[in-house]
A and B are shown apart, each in its own frame.
Chain A
Amino acid sequence: MSDRRDSPEQAEFRQYCRRWIEEHRPAAPAFRMPLNPIEVATEEQRRYLAAWQKRCYEAGLIACDYPKDCGGGGHKGFQTVASQELGRAQVPFLVNVIGLSMAAPTILHHGTPEQKARFLPPLFAADEIWCQGFSEPGAGSDLANAQASAVRQGDHWVVNGHKVWTSLAHFASWMIMICRHSTTHKYDGLTYFIVPIADTKGVTVRPLIKITGETGFNEVLFEDVVVPDNLRLDDVGKGWTVAMTTLLHERGAAEGAGSGGGPSFEQELRALVALAKRTPRNGKTAWDDAVVRDKVMQLLVRAEGLRQTARRMRVTPLSDHPMRLPLQAKVLMTELMQDVGACGVEIAGAGASRYLGDPGAPDGGHWPHAYMNSYGMTIAAGSNEIQRNILGERVLGLAKSK
């Protein structure tokens, strides 16, 4: 599994990561592990995962490429190596995913030296968990329509509003949040803040129940919450620009949300074939049905296509436009996972009516659960309809939709 593109330094670091992970791989916990960071529900899960992230950080596998004065390793090109090795090793995922993928790069780009020094080290160590406050009941795909308000009063701001889809808010110390300081301008009326969540007067975190019946993400209500001005990120009115920095990194987070933790799409497809081979159908198995085989093979072709496109992204003369392949990844990955889930439900047949907790459910009810849960991914991080607008406009140059 060596990568021929590694520089000597990267190769050496890769060996170090591999050795360290093997020596420090945590013992499996007694409790059920969540499939991904969005599903962390209990305090014992949080404690277990936060402890693992902290060890990884202390070993130098997190924030490798951040400057040393921000608590980083000061290297270049090391994070890819560490992330690849963590992903391959199938160790628990990093729980502070919103912090690592979105808050940290945003703070690095737009924060003051004081903000970087205060917030980044405990973020990397998972001593403080982060959540993101972008979406609102009336601002989903049309993010710039955010209405949560921030009103300046001397050296602080008073925040009121309602954020939804806030994963990890129930454990979070901090939220990265866009607020409206002015109703005159849609985009220029936005300002970006770091807002305290845990034990903060006026903040209410309520779990939102997903269609799967599970908790996992939340809605957060703000009622006259006081935010000091030194928690503002970048200038007043720059909120949209800062948000773009965050979103630039969100796509990666959406794709990598399961890395090192929940099942990869390779594992899902293997499980799908195994399901077809053991599910009785017409006196044989579902796998003997030509229609089922064709459907499963279509999914396998798409999965291999994703792998080979990831490989092609590194070959400049074989990809026509620099953003053409990278911008496709979110749509392709999430729709593949959704269709794999749907196919599992179809193959399981009557058995797919049985859900989590039913002893007779095929694969413990995984297929209807995975299928329903997949809509989180096709909607999150810019719904796939928005992703198609972006591809059509930025890559193909089609006229911008409203």
Chain B
Amino acid sequence: MALTKDFGFGPDEQLVRDQARKFLRESFGIERLRKLVAADHHEAYESAVQPAPYDTALWQQMVELGWTALAVPEAAGGVGMKTIAVATLVEEVGRVALPSPLVSTLVTTMVLRAAGAMPWLERIAAGEAAALAATNAEGSWEPSDTGVEARSEGGRTILTGTAAFVQDARKASFFVVSARGPGGVGLYAVPANAPGLTITPDRIVDLTRDQATLTLSRVPVDAAGVVAPEGRGVAALEAAMPGVLTIVAADLCGAAEWQLQTTTEYAKTRVQFDHPIGFFQAVKHPIVNMMLAVDRARSLTYAAACAIDHEPDDAPRLARMAKAAASDAAAFCSDRSIQLHGGIGFTWECDVHLYFKRQKHNQLLYGDAAYQRAKLAELLDAR
């Protein structure tokens, strides 16, 4: 089987990636991030409701640049770019640890695409942020598990129950909720201001996003809100999963590359025993190991993104490999980035903790590395 040349990463895709890189580096440096999310440690972790700061003006610019429309098919008013373009753009987002609803919106886009829900895709293309609410209170990543019940009443669907671990919920204008009815799991679009919907923010470790529990108490959904009818929800979520995993893997890779570069720079400048500490192999070799882990994850992420568009039969396998490798790379880079920064690395004023926390969060989303490997073994058995 001939593999797609260059992962399908051509001049158009490179233009998207390079523009995103330039835009984010110029408009969202590390000082901006620090000021936005970590100016006050008390505010961050001890205020009555944890703040979920993000730069709304920057978000508007991202919408104007077409980033929400990128993964939306042209038929729904989007740009319909290849997944490799989306993945390399998200990598840049991860590299600056950007607080924004972009990743949750792209994740939701993947689900809406798999379900063919054009009207809701149009809203995303127009700049609305969305989030997926398909995880129960136990934190199960299985598409068939949901904590929400769906009932049919007079031509409408009534949703009741709990959806937990909803990403960037306070930034979303609508949710895609999975709910179980008598005919199986369906997917439903629920506006953030729907009657009967309560959004309760979690207090979380990661300062670059927000997370919430949705409580649905007889939330009505009309026919236009049905994204996937009863019995079709699990298939849609499963079909979307390669895209979802690839996007999160790309975020992990971008942040891990930042951890690698930042730790490298520190090892070049910090002097102990008359040498920059990178001179010592106890420091040099772990940094090289960070690079090996990041590059494995990046190669697999590009391969997964390419497969989604060009070799779809292989996409589930490669996407799970990408998420497994990216989660492991993130774990290792997080660990070494703190340790090799030494005393300063343990303090709030050193930026490495911001990435450490974002990585910990992304590592577990949609299943950690061990979960992905268990799924891979099942795929191998099924072949």
Contact = CB atoms under 8 A, between A and B. Distances in A.
Interface stretch (A23-31, A167-175, A232-240, A383-391): A383-391
Interface in A366-402: 385, 388-389, 391-393, 395-401
Contact of A315 (B6, B297, B370): B6
Given A298-B373, A301-B300, 4 more contacts: A2-B2, A4-B2, A305-B321, A311-B7
Interface in B269-296: 275-276, 278-281, 284-285, 287-289, 291-292, 295-296
Contacts of A385: 281, 285
B268 A309 contact: no
Contacts of A308: 299-300, 302-303
Interface stretch (B53-61, B160-168, B210-218, B374-382): B374-382
B325 interface: yes
A293 interface: yes
Nearest to B7: A315
A391 B279 contact: no
A3 interface: yes
Is the interface on chain B under 10, 10 to 19, 20 to 34, or 35 or more residues?
Answer: 35 or more
A145 interface: no
Contacts of A397: 264, 268
Given A293-B373, A309-B296, A398-B278, A317 B14 contact: yes
B285 A311 contact: no
Contacts, number: 128
A334 to B, nearest CB: 12
A328 B373 contact: no
B292 to A, nearest CB: 6
Contacts of B7: 311-312, 315, 318
B276 A399 contact: yes
B227 to A, nearest CB: 32
Contact of A300 (B276, B280, B288, B376): B376
A314 interface: yes
Interface residues of A, number: 44
Contacts of A309: 295-296, 299
Contacts of B14: 317
Contacts of B302: 308, 312, 315, 318
B298 interface: yes
Given A304-B321, A309-B296, A318-B302, A392 B287 contact: yes
The SS class assigned to the B binding surface is helix
Interface in B1-50: 2-3, 5-7, 9, 14, 17
A296 interface: yes
B295 A325 contact: yes
A399 B302 CA distance: 31
A188 to B, nearest CB: 25
Contact of A388 (B2, B268, B284, B297): B284
The SS class assigned to the A binding surface is helix
B319 to A, nearest CB: 12
Interface of B: 2-3, 5-7, 9, 14, 17, 88, 264, 267-268, 275-276, 278-281, 284-285, 287-289, 291-292, 295-300, 302-303, 318, 321, 324-325, 370, 373-374, 376-377, 380
Contacts of B6: 314-315, 318
A388 B299 contact: no
Contacts of B373: 293-294, 297-298, 301
Nearest to A384: B285
10 closest pairs, A vs B, by CB? A398-B278, A305-B296, A308-B299, A297-B373, A399-B279, A392-B284, A309-B299, A308-B303, A293-B377, A388-B288
29 contacts: A2-B2, A290-B374, A296-B377, A300-B376, A301-B373, A304-B300, A305-B325, A306-B296, A308-B302, A308-B303, A309-B295, A309-B299, A311-B3, A311-B299, A315-B6, A315-B302, A317-B17, A332-B296, A389-B281, A389-B285, A391-B291, A392-B278, A392-B285, A396-B288, A398-B276, A399-B275, A399-B276, A399-B278, A401-B281
Contacts of B299: 305, 308-309, 311-312
Contacts of B292: 328, 331-332
B288 A312 contact: no
Contact of A389 (B267, B284, B291, B377): B284
A109 interface: no
